[in-house]
Amino acid sequence: MNDSNQKFKVHIKNNKWAEGSFPNTPEAEKVFTITEKRFQESLDNFPNLKDQIISFIDWDEDNFANSMVDTDILLTWDLPTSELKKIAPKLKWIHCIGAGVEHLLPLDWIPNGAMLTNNKGVHSKKSGEYGLMSVLMLHNNLPAIINNQQIKKYEQLFGTPISNSTIVIVGTGSLGGAVAELLEPLGPKVIGVNRQGGSVKGCSEIVTIKELDNVLPQADILYMALPETPETIGLIDSRRLNLLKSSCGIVNVGRQSAIDYQALSGMLESGRLSGAILDVFNPEPIVSDSPYWNVPNLIVTPHVSSDELESYIPLTLNLFFKNLELFLSNKPLNNQVNQKLGY
């Protein structure tokens, strides 16, 4: 990829938090900021790379246009895309520090020959644990129990061993796959739903999206872990929600656009569905007068299923530097985004 004397410039674009932007809270800014200290500590684990790169850490678009003139690699969440092909003649690789890249679609702005990679896999451990927790909460009637606590109602809602249940996981990438793997030792039937029907560790059965209607009526819990693409928007609409049994609970850790939240809220209010745990909304954060705060048997979590302060950036940089080794060796990079599919 380069001669022994050439150094590659890595531009790191951090974002200051702002409402309606990313990150959208001060807490999230702390999670996602790549500081010089974090960068160098991670780079220390890859001593062979130290003499091959020059890093430039920036905020928002303060120095973006000027820096792009000689940047080879961009490490970022987002970027101004309209003029990128003109202002970044040397750009060869963009790494997005999130798993989803829907905020960058369509991807026709990517310079010819440049690659886009994402953070798939960085979230897996944390997301798997959140997923296991949420599935067990739904299975043991926690949304209804919490709702009863608010109205001071003492009602014994007994659960059963989860080994007798069926969990349908729609989206079996790193997020859905992580929870499937943790559920497997507990013995439930886990049906995975993905685009091609490829096998997934922890799933006892795999079907394609085309077969979704056939498995929804079997679900005791529907676990949604989809990115936002044209194919996933509105996937679980009112018609498909009505295919679910009344005792079914729903978890969403993917994107709000995959589920009709208005229809879901109505079914929770009427008792048509038993409960839901939702971690993703659009926009975020949800406002204080949002109707979601008052939906019975709905637990709202503030997009915390996958990210955490201590290890998110170190794991991100570990993935990035491993890919940088591949990049410098002219080998295919991990987590390349299919520019036609958008994930």
**pLDDT for residue 20:** 83
pTM of the model: 0.90
- Helix 174-183 vs helix 124-139: crossing angle, to nearest 10: 50
pLDDT at 131 over 60: yes
Is the predicted pLDDT of residue 40 greater than 70, yes or no?
yes
From the options 2.60.120.860, 3.30.460.10, 3.40.50.720, 2.70.98.90, give the CATH code of 8-122+308-328.
Answer: 3.40.50.720
Q: What is the pLDDT of residue 57?
A: 98
Residue 340: pLDDT over 90: no
Whole-number percent of the chain with pLDDT over 70: 99
How large is the average pLDDT for residues 135-154?
A: 96
Give residue-wise pLDDT tens across range 199-224: 999 999 999 999 999 999 999 999 99
Residue whose token pair is 């990313």? 22
CA–CA gap between residue 92 and residue 85 (Å, rounded): 11
Q: Which residue reads 């490829």 in tokens?
A: 198
**Residue 1 clears pLDDT 90, i.e. is over it:** no
Domain positions in the chain are 8-122+308-328, 124-300
Q: Tens of pLDDT along 156-204?
A: 999 999 999 999 999 999 999 999 999 999 999 999 999 999 999 999 9
Per-residue pLDDT tens digits for 268-299? 999 999 999 999 999 999 999 999 999 999 99
What's the whole-number mean pLDDT along residues 10-37? 94
Q: Do domains 8-122+308-328 and 124-300 have the same CATH topology?
A: yes
- pLDDT at residue 3 is higher than 70: no
Q: Which residues lie closer than 8 Å to 23 by C-beta, 6 or more apart?
A: 15, 17, 29, 31, 32
**pLDDT at position 251, please?**
98
| β-pair partners for 300 | 278
Second-level CATH architecture of 124-300: 3-Layer(aba) Sandwich (3.40)
Distance CA 127, CA 177 (A): 10
Q: What is the DSSP string of 255-281?
A: -GGGB-HHHHHHHHHHTSS-EEEE---
Total number of residues shown for the chain: 343
The Cα–Cα gap between 74 and 94 comes to: 5
pLDDT for residue 117 is more than 60? yes
Mean pLDDT of 115-131: 95
How far apart are alpha carbons 54 and 327 in whole angstroms?
A: 15
Give the model's confidence band at 343: pLDDT under 50 very low, under 70 low, under 90 confident, else very high: confident
Q: Residue 54: which residues within 8 A CB-CB, separation 6 or more?
A: 7, 8, 9, 10
Banded pLDDT at 309 (limits 50, 70, 90): confident
The distance in angstroms from the start CA to the end CA of the chain is 25
Q: pLDDT for 235-271, tens place per residue?
A: 999 999 999 999 999 999 999 999 999 999 999 999 9
AA letter at 322: K
- pLDDT higher than 70, residue 332: yes
Of residues 128, 143, 210, 136, the one with CA closest to residue 167: 136
Average pLDDT, the chain: 95
Q: What is the pLDDT of residue 4?
A: 55
Give the pLDDT band (50/70/90) at residue 2. low
Count CB neighbours of 172 within 10 A: 27
pLDDT band of 59, cuts 50, 70, 90: very high
pLDDT of residue 333: 98
Q: What tens digit of pLDDT does each residue of 69-93 get?
A: 999 999 999 999 999 999 999 999 9
Indicate the pLDDT class of residue 19, thresholds 50, 70 and 90.
Answer: confident
